[in-house]
Structure 1
């Protein structure tokens, strides 16, 4: 993070932010998502030190009063010229005085209406006179001074992200959970699309910051004549979905390059309709930032069948090779691997090993014969689950875990999904997650928190007995009680109006696909009747036309591998915090990260937990991170060895990346406390810390 004092032009533009001249030099910004264009979470601010960090106290809190059951809040706040910009659990956008937490303005894209679903959102973009953010399919531009939509941007202040994808917009669900990047007069961004079918394609796009006009698109599902087209079936570009950069993109402004990391193709777990390697799914991609033309790519996982999206945007680092500095791109994975590429050429900077893969799969499926893995650095997550890796927390817990392990027998980490069930390990929530790594350019160390939990997956033949079974049970369960990827629908009629349900089924929402293109109006109406009444008297085949998105298998069970008391079924640690030397390709240190309060009260400490959100690394020796799901802590560690220096309890879990900034000569540390992950309580509070 660099010092960016207010300029005369900025003060003239925003007079309500004006400060006396002596204070201008005492302000430092957190100007973009994750602190800088490189996404390294690094700061040179030094008022908070390893020696005084234990004196941090709460400077202010801001309760959004916007949480609801199951909601999350993952924003990394932006702070510019003494003003903080962020979002609430219902995705209202606000501006605060960054020194006091007092609200200046607030914008509600729903105009008071209740949310139709849980929203995951990681913040906003502040550039020039505007604040850019996404709500569902709408990309808004707000006036930075007032929070009102800018009428000259798009259609009276917003652009429809469903447009320009080469598909009819009816039934498309397209949003963006992670802020994009600004380069010259372009906003470059990825998108969030459903992981079930039907799904939109994951095009990476650039929009004119001033007008909202689409300037270029890169097709992550290649069109005819484009490189990679032959890695899909011929018609895939018309109907396939996913391969989207949902975790954001990273800009090298000096070189005019933008880097993206993509997710898997839809549907995640069965790919008979997408035979081939499926470029550019699960890939690191370098594009010309002005034109969107491909410069280089590396596919990390071919024909993904395990939901192993690349979980965070690439970070830009500099490492030593043969005594020379080499600019590079580092990419973490859900499997706990770290790929390192030359930034200009895409050449791997550590050797890759080609490994033979199992070939058994369900009818119609064809797995990739091989996958490539870096020889160095070592993975920051365990790679295969055996009987010796099952929990020993109690004898009863071990017996329960062994029973599940035996039922879901998985001889190889890349066993293809099947109807008997498999264990995905590392799980679909990592290894690495969307918080992404932090990098210290002074030492060459990269810091990443890792989840160490297995997941269970079982497929079943897709039933055509009812509309619900054919289209909804894979996410929400055959009994409508919900799963890890879809909430319970048992009482949905008490929480949503019939009109809202019709809209959700027709248009989709977030990761849920819209069925407007796959079902006629009568079928959608019949499906909503079932959700409201619980009585399903229709047959899928009778109610809907032939469906090009239909697959012969769907998800029957998909959830975390837990013991009989709800704790992970594997040995501790269940979460770690790691330091990796990117020059040497070695692990510098690794510690358990997080606790379960109920176990800690019994003396079972340092178990580790799952964590979501990243760390800040400071030039003067600190690694600061919240992220842990159940203990509601924010912590500061000695970055050289992982020694705990300070911790504080938050009102809710801080499943987000903190920001640090300076106003009027005082350094602050702020974290969004939203909770809501994996059954944890939901909240909507921002907490800022400072020295007394």
Structure 2
């Protein structure tokens, strides 16, 4: 009976592989599945007839699959396993007495045993190799021991989102080193009480990087509570509730940071001598007394700025600040998030500079009307749908320049009717005069962006030693994986940037740019092929191959289409808002490149289904009301809900900024929290968040979709320590010292709604034993 059942199983597998293989081959894909499917059918028939030659044929299937798999992808265990796992398991079953009972003819055990042993040998070898790893070392030389860190922030404090106005995410503290970081232990845990609720939108996330000034940490929460915590003990000092209301039209419910300012004109200890500025998801900016959390009434109107002032289409939930404003030169510079792909009637992406003391509007820069930077007269409105800055800028007060990472005009995937100004500034790094808002230079990273490849991260400022001397530079990470290393005075490349041909063939009425910029320093992945498709088994891998062949895909910048296009890198980004961390002394960079392909399909307006109640997500159907097409977007997943492309999906990487070369690139993170069973397999998983580096030679990073905070050797990228977090750590860590001299590392663990990590409300602090 077991023999007959086995024969039936082989025949069913043959039908699935053969039928799917014919479909795949008809689309231009691999013929392996057709051939193997026929072999399975024949082996099933022979087994049903109780012919021992079935084992000889199955041995040929094992060896043929092994040779094909190694030819196609080499010795990568994570890619070999799905191709051969089911086949080898069935081979082992066929060697049992139950499966072989009643077989006649020449004994086929020996060839099948040899085939299995060959497969196990290849599997064993492939487990010791990682063909996708780049091993190397960054220089440990202190190139500029007195490097410019971007202001007079005390070594033991963290005053800005990126620690200083330069956005380096670098701390000069060196108590925690590569030698002792493994001894880090929990110091305290604080819980905010602000947890994602059943009525919250999907992308309710906790992404804040705390500020540390004096003896206090200042944070915000997803629902925009502002809280001060004792930096040494984690005890709450005060909290402020802005009483925001939930809104189903709000695409993001988060807060990445608050801003801090000490007013030199007010004596220390007096009310509002030091302030915390809180951006809210209902488009307010609130000034609070850093000492007690009370509103500072002298700022704006009773302590609050209404950021919808001057906005076209000031609809609730369509505009708000998710990122910390930057305070520089006596100004607080505010950008905002605009809901992607809801409507053609959206608020402006204007960037505004307000007097940090009074809240008076000093200048406004609207990328849709870039020449009018004087304050907008009452009764007028900014340009709707203009490219926005949803992330955080950086600034160089000595040069008098503000560096703005810009998004694109919504709808993201439709470029018809964009103005010349939108075409110029969309998806660019733009330098503005800090005092007037006038444009000083612009460096576009994507021409005529149809892929939502907005510049997502704060530009990082660092002085770089070149053959021509020390150059004040800017490092700009992008979603498409390019790192722009520019002279921040002029925007001219330090690492070369070239124009490369790009795919054409946009929908009727639209166009594509014939070329796109590409930096010589890039984490842009190779184009995907059928060989890159993945699955838990060969069956879902086959399904991914079929879907790939049915999508339009011509490499990076394949235009969106009604057919459905593959977008890789996807709009999740190779880099996202977490950006990179730079050691300005060693002139090296640490980052977390992520690789996830997305699908993008345009839906003609007359085929768009009626609206439903919930739509607070960038995935799924984006309605684009008022445009001729909606768009359906989402990651490229298998029928089992895992990425169709083979891992790794996430790395840690180190770059020498003086040479513009990648020194190392290692898989980062495990599938521990991605699978029903807590498996610690180091596949290299996606992440969203940012790194931090220290003078102790240690890089800290949470971000990955397994719930850990990790420490790495900045020189080699080798993991040195990890701590299990009680929730997703999709935020950027920071570090500081307290009065007794101890160095702390702090990360917020609250989860991320879009990537599905565990929600929470934790602030976690670690330090070395006393």
Q: Structure 2 length as normaliser, TM-score?
A: 0.73
Aligned to 2:755: 678
Q: 1:180-199 residue pairs with structure 2 within 5 A?
A: 180-196=325-341, 197=343, 198-199=345-346
Residue 534 of structure 1 corresponds to which residue in structure 2?
none
Q: Does 2:574 correspond to 1:431?
A: yes
The aligned residue for residue 395 of structure 2 is 251
Residue 449 of structure 1 pairs with residue 592 of structure 2? yes
Output the CA distance in 2 between the equivalents of 1:409 and 1:115: 36
Judged with a 3 Å threshold, the aligned counterparts in structure 2 of structure 1 residues 361 and 2 are, in CA distance, closer, same or farther, namely closer
Query: Match of 2:761, SS?
Result: strand
Q: 1:120 matched to which residue of 2?
A: 254
Distance of 1:389 and 1:435 partners within structure 2:
27
**Contact conserved, 2:366 with 2:382, CA < 8 A, in 1?**
no
CA contact (8 A) 1:202 1:245 kept: yes
Q: What is the DSSP-based 3-state SS (H/G/I as helix, E as strand, rest coil) of the residue aligned with 2:207?
A: coil
Q: Deviations over 1:337-365 (max 9, x none)?
A: 11111111211112222122223111211
CA shift, 1:367, in A, is 1.6
- Which of 81, 87, 98 aligns to 2:220? It is 87
Please point out which of 52, 73, 86 is paired with 2:206. 73
Q: Are the counterparts in 1 of residues 151 and 165 from structure 2 also a CA contact under 8 Å?
A: no
Task: Flag the structure with higher strand content.
Answer: 1
Match of 1:408 among 539, 543, 551: 551
Aligned to 1:658, which of 725, 729, 733? 733
What's 2:171 paired with? 43
1:623 to 2:699 alignment: yes
Out of 608, 611, 616, the position equivalent to 2:687 is: 611
CA distance in 2, matches of 1:66, 1:280: 37
Q: C-alpha offsets along residues 5-28 of structure 1, whole Å, 9 cap, x if unaligned?
A: 99xxxxxxxxxxxxxxxxxxxx82
CA distance in 2, matches of 1:153, 1:58: 39
1:2 and 1:28 in contact (8 A); partners too: no
In structure 2, distance between residues paired with 1:565 and 1:658: 33
Give the secondary structure class of the aligned counterpart of 1:683: coil
Structure 2 residue 730 is matched with structure 1 residue 587: no
Residues of 2 paired with 1:637 and 1:155: CA distance?
A: 47
**CA distance 1:238–1:613, change in 2 (3 Å):** closer
Gaps of 5+ in 2: 1-148, 263-273, 374-380
Q: Which residue of 2 aligns with 1:573?
A: 648
Provide Cα deviations, 1:80-130, integer angstroms capped at 9, x if missing partner: 00100001222111001111111111111117x556555122010011121
Q: Distance in 1 between matches of 2:513 and 2:336?
A: 26
> Counterpart of 1:215?
362
Q: Secondary structure at the match of 1:403?
A: helix
CA drift of 1:455 comes to 0.7
Distance across 1 between alignment mates of 2:723 and 2:156: 24
Counterparts of 1:37 and 1:381, CA distance in 2: 28
Query: Is residue 2:292 matched to residue 1:146?
Result: yes
Instruction: Select the residue among 615, 628, 633 that pairs with 2:708.
Output: 633
Contact kept, 8 Å, 1:2 with 1:29, in 2: the verdict is: no
Q: SS of the residue aligned with 1:122?
A: coil
Query: Are positions 1:202 and 2:279 aligned together?
Result: no
- Alignment of 1:642 with 2:717, yes or no, is yes
**Structure exhibiting the larger radius of gyration computed from Cα positions:** 2
The answer on whether the counterparts of 2:349 and 2:384 sit within 8 Å (CA) in structure 1 is no
Match of 2:425 among 280, 285, 288: 280
The answer to whether the Cα contact below 8 Å between 1:138 and 1:160 also exists between their aligned partners in 2 is yes
Which residue does 1:104 correspond to in 2?
237
1:614-633 deviation line (CA, Å, top 9, x unaligned): 1111112111111112x100
Higher mean C-alpha displacement, 99-108 vs 68-77: 68-77
Q: CA deviation at 1:287?
A: 1.1
Distance apart, 1:383 and its partner CA = 4.0
User: d(CA) in 1 for partners of 2:162 and 2:315?
Assistant: 34
| Cα distance, 1:48 vs structure 2 | 1.1
Match for residue 627 of structure 2? 551
Give the 3-state SS of the residue equivalent to 2:548 in structure 1.
helix
Instruction: Give the Cα separation in 2 of the matches to 1:86 and 1:611.
Output: 22
1:491 aligns with: none
Looking at structure 1, the residues matched to 172 and 633 of structure 2 have their Cα atoms a distance apart, in angstroms, of 43
Deviation at 1:381, TM superposition (A): 3.7
Deviation at 1:482, TM superposition (A): 6.2
Structure 1 283/565 Cα, relative in aligned 2: closer, same or farther at 3 Å? same
Look up the match of 2:112: none
Residues 173-224 of structure 1 show CA distances to partners (whole Å, capped at 9, x for unaligned) of 3211111211232111221112222222211210011111110011211358
Q: For residue 264 of structure 1, what is the aligned residue in structure 2?
A: 408
CA distance in 2, matches of 1:2, 1:618: 15
Does the aligned pair in 2 maintain the 1:2–1:43 contact within 8 Å? no
Aligned residue among 477, 492, 496 for 1:347: 492
Partners of 2:498 and 2:518 within 8 A in 1: yes
Shift of 1:463: 2.9
CA contact 1:91–1:108 (8 Å) conserved in 2 = yes
Shift of 1:240: 4.2
Query: Which residue matches 1:12?
Result: none
Give the C-alpha shift of residue 390 in structure 1.
1.4
Distance 1:383 1:212, change over 3 A: farther
Moved more, 601-610 or 50-59: 601-610
Distance 1:486 1:321 in 2: 43
CA shift, 1:406, in A, is 2.0
Specify whether residues 667 and 625 from structure 1 end up closer, same or farther in structure 2 by C-alpha distance, changes over 3 A only.
Answer: same
Match of 2:450 in 1: 305
Does the residue aligned with 1:278 lie in a helix, a strand or coil? helix
Output the CA distance in 1 between the equivalents of 2:693 and 2:297: 39
| 1:115/1:464 CA distance change after superposition, 3 Å | closer
8 Å CA contact retained: 2:170, 2:583: yes
Change (3 A) 1:254 1:219: same
Q: Distance in 1 between matches of 2:525 and 2:150?
A: 36
Pairing 1:359–2:435 present: no
Q: Alpha-carbon deviation of 1:443?
A: 2.3
Q: Structure 2: how far apart are the matches of 1:602 and 1:80?
A: 39
Shift of 1:164: 3.3
SS of residue in 1 equivalent to 2:546: helix
Q: Which residue of structure 2 aligns with residue 387 of structure 1?
A: 530
1:464–1:606 CA distance, 2 compared to 1 (3 A): closer
**How far apart are the structure 2 equivalents of 1:575 and 1:95?**
34
Structure 2 residue 426 is the aligned partner of structure 1 residue 292: no
Contact conserved, 1:575 with 1:610, CA < 8 A, in 2? yes
Does structure 1 residue 328 correspond to structure 2 residue 476?
no
SS at match of 2:417: helix
- Between the aligned partners of 1:225 and 1:358, the Cα distance in structure 2 is 36
Partner of 1:521: none
